[in-house]
Amino acid sequence: MAGKGDRAMGYIRVSTVRQVEEGNSIASQTLAVMEYAKSKGLKLLSRDIIIDDGTSGGIPIWDRKNGKKILKMVESGKYGHIVVSKLDRMFRLTSDAILSIDELEEQGIALHVIDLGGQSLDTSSAMGQFIMRFVASIAELERGLISERTK
């Protein structure tokens, strides 16, 4: 039986039908998460993939219905990794990303983002944590700039 070190959970989120049509379907995210976990030697069972269908990324992760389920899994001490296809599937707010990454780090859990500008990144190192926080800040800045331009 796998220990905490290599046991992973996956997180999938789709908020709109348009996202499904653009290639962010539950099936495509699930496939990406499973293939990534396998390539990294992580044990990810299908029952450990948590799906938020029709849920806005603007809701902080731990406040989402299935975010609460992830938090319980994190607190169980059985997992060492969370795998998500893209950062915006899990977070849309910088504050949520930073606080959640810190909480995961305190629990000894690495967050793996499969597609971060064409590269994968995880928070198992200090550099990975820094880059993940930086990217989350840039994503929020971009959202703010788009909002300013549309006004």
List, by residue number, the catalytic residues: 15
* Residue environment code for 79-97, b if the CB has 16+ CB neighbours within 10 A, otherwise e: bbbbbbbbbbbbbbbbebb
* Residue environment code for 126-148, b if the CB has 16+ CB neighbours within 10 A, otherwise e: eebbebbbebbeebbeeeeeeee
- Here the tokens at position 101 are 């990454």
